[in-house]
Structure 1
Amino acid sequence: MKKILITGCSSGFGYQAAKYLAEKGHHVYATMRKVAGNNAGKASDLKEFAKANKLNIDVLDMDVTSDESVNSAVKQIPTLDVVINNAGYGYGGPVEAFSSEEILQQLDLNIVGTIRVAKAVLPKLRKQKSGLIIQVSSTAGRAAFPGFGVYHASKWGLEGVSEAMRYELAPLGIDVVIVEPGPFSTNFFGNIVQPKDAEIASAYEHVAGFIQDFGGQVQNFFEDENAPTDPMVVVKIFEDLINKPAGSRPLRTIAGLDFGFQALNDAVEPIRVGALAAMGVGDWDGPKA
């Protein structure tokens, strides 16, 4: 049994992963914002599910944009084996239309939020000289499309900081891996945050058209029962990474519709490994078996 902390459990991958991994016998700490507010229903659902099935799910209030909230939640967890940094959402619209404050909010959630969680749990993991951190990125962290520049900035940044952390933490026995989901039926597009400056956004009708058309294409994928868009695809990848022994986990794993980006990852991988070797830190690419 692993002790697993999951962020963003009010919906999507986090909600499904909390239930599934608990069913597999793990002790899950399911975290979300506003447990006593907007997410009270989801928190209650998880608690009732755990009670009815005699499972170990502790629901904790955690806002990953708050140092105090993150530290308070982690203090309630005695020991940890796995952290799944899943909390996040996307901003969609032309870059010019977003204010500096809006851009900082996106970066704070999708990049700084994962670092807050890591900083809170790493003293525990370093002390025990083991642990796994799963960073939930996106195929949008490997390429860019019009209308999602601010979101791309957050996911490209998450990719970079996660890769650096992998090398820094491997000699301490801690593994860091990245999961890159494509589009999944998690209402991501329904929750996209648009820029408040509608006047500037109106100058980019071509971008709005692209977003609308792309959303329609993705919806068609969701309605195709043969397309890999069930969130459980990602949850099963979490499980597989958790079950793999230290030293055997890949840095990046694409989940679902990859739009050809698996070829990008495959092409870059030997360059990445070669660069590490050239810098004399080739053995820092994940902890020793």
Structure 2
Amino acid sequence: MSEKTVIITGSSSGFGMLTAIQCAKKGFRVIATMRNLDKKEVFEAQELDPDVRNRIEFKQLDVTNEASLKTFTDWLEELDRVDVVVNNAGFAIGGFLEQVPLADFRRQFDTNVLGVVAVTQAVLPKMRKQKAGKILNVSSVSGRIGFPALSAYVASKHALEGLTESLRLEMKPFGIDVGLIEPGSFRTNIWSSGMEIPNEVNNPDSPYAPYIKGIWDELNNQKKYHGNPNDVAQMVTKLAMADTLKKLRYPIGSGARLNMLMKQIIPWSLLEKTVLRKLYPAMPEDQEKRLRPVESGD
């Protein structure tokens, strides 16, 4: 293939780093962006072929910082073209809605939603001039399915889903493709070192304390089923290389499609009972009783 340029945000780890490597292997010129350029050292640990390594350029970019965005946008003018943008930068905040300070909710949306908006706005003028381009937004199964104690993260990904659906329709007249990658659970640090837990969430005197332990335990128990993040990187690279994006959404990972299907076909009342019983073993008896099916004669 002739050399094409792909910009990937949040490239210092996980899906971003692996996608940068996969795209470089396929002949892309890769612009790997990250907030802290010191973290580019993770690429050195991958023992890459010199030709692959030489295809990867590193640029500082904090998608929530206006000065950083301005510097990056000005630098974009030097590029002949931008063929693909992978909006991957993101993180997760854990905790029940009442526990998470409003400032943390804003930070969650600043990165996971407004950061996508800022980067997309920066590249669209060049893509419109080219009359071609792809924007791939990395969402999550959490963008389709709610989960307790992750309300800030889930809300941000639901917002990203709606944003991307609208953007796809807006860009069609200009020859620009837009798509969503919807991973299930994978072995990335977003569920470990990448998750932020506000101090309020760890308060043992919190009324949510009995429940949040059960939720964290369940998340930890599911780690053995987490997929290989290289699978996501390969999917993103394949879509970057495709002539067109025929679909808007691309779910991937163990349980992702199944969970979305279950939400569509199972009545909410039954789905809710199943989730609550699994995650809330400490639920008071009077509340748990309300979940039981009504028997004749009751």
Q: Same fold (TM over 0.5)?
A: yes
What do residues 227-258 of structure 1 show as CA deviations (whole Å, max 9, x unaligned)? xx111111111122123222x42100101123
- 1:253 correspondence with 2:247: no
Matching residue of 1:208: 212
Q: Give the C-alpha shift of residue 53 in structure 1.
A: 4.4
Q: Give the C-alpha shift of residue 55 in structure 1.
A: 3.2
Alignment CA distance shift 1:239-1:41 (3 Å): closer
Query: Is the deviation greater in 48-57 or in 5-14?
Result: 48-57
RMSD: 2.2
What do residues 63-122 of structure 1 show as CA deviations (whole Å, max 9, x unaligned)? 011132123224334020000000001011111011110110001010000001001111
- What secondary structure sits across from 1:188 in the alignment? helix
- What secondary structure sits across from 1:145 in the alignment? coil
Alignment CA distance shift 1:45-1:117 (3 Å): farther
Matching residue of 1:270: none
Q: What TM-score results when the alignment is normalised by the length of structure 2?
A: 0.80
Matches within 5 A, 1:70-109: 70-77=69-76, 78=79, 79-109=81-111
Gaps of 5+ in 1: 223-228, 268-289
Structure 2 Cα separation of the partners of residues 252 and 60 of structure 1: 28
Query: Is the deviation greater in 107-116 or in 201-210?
Result: 201-210
- 1:67 correspondence with 2:70: no
Structure 2 Cα separation of the partners of residues 50 and 113 of structure 1: 32
- What secondary structure sits across from 1:76 in the alignment? helix
1:76 corresponds to which letter in structure 2?
W
- What secondary structure sits across from 1:17 in the alignment? helix
Structure 1 Cα separation of the partners of residues 52 and 14 of structure 2: 21
Structure 2 Cα separation of the partners of residues 179 and 243 of structure 1: 15
- What secondary structure sits across from 1:249 in the alignment? coil
Contact 2:145-2:263 within 8 A present in 1 as well = no
Matches within 5 A, 1:66-215: 66-77=65-76, 78=79, 79-190=81-192, 191-197=194-200, 198-199=202-203, 202-215=206-219
Q: Give the C-alpha shift of residue 11 in structure 1.
A: 0.2
Alignment CA distance shift 1:89-1:54 (3 Å): closer
Alignment CA distance shift 1:122-1:3 (3 Å): same
Structure 2 Cα separation of the partners of residues 153 and 122 of structure 1: 25
Structure 2 Cα separation of the partners of residues 45 and 67 of structure 1: 31
What do residues 110-135 of structure 1 show as CA deviations (whole Å, max 9, x unaligned)? 00000010011111111111100000
Matching residue of 1:57: 56
Query: Is the deviation greater in 213-222 or in 81-90?
Result: 213-222
Structure 2 Cα separation of the partners of residues 201 and 25 of structure 1: 55
- What secondary structure sits across from 2:92 in the alignment? coil
1:61 corresponds to which letter in structure 2?
Q
Q: What TM-score results when the alignment is normalised by the length of structure 1?
A: 0.82
Contact 1:134-1:179 within 8 A present in 2 as well = yes
Matching residue of 2:273: none
Matching residue of 1:41: 41
1:245 corresponds to which letter in structure 2?
D
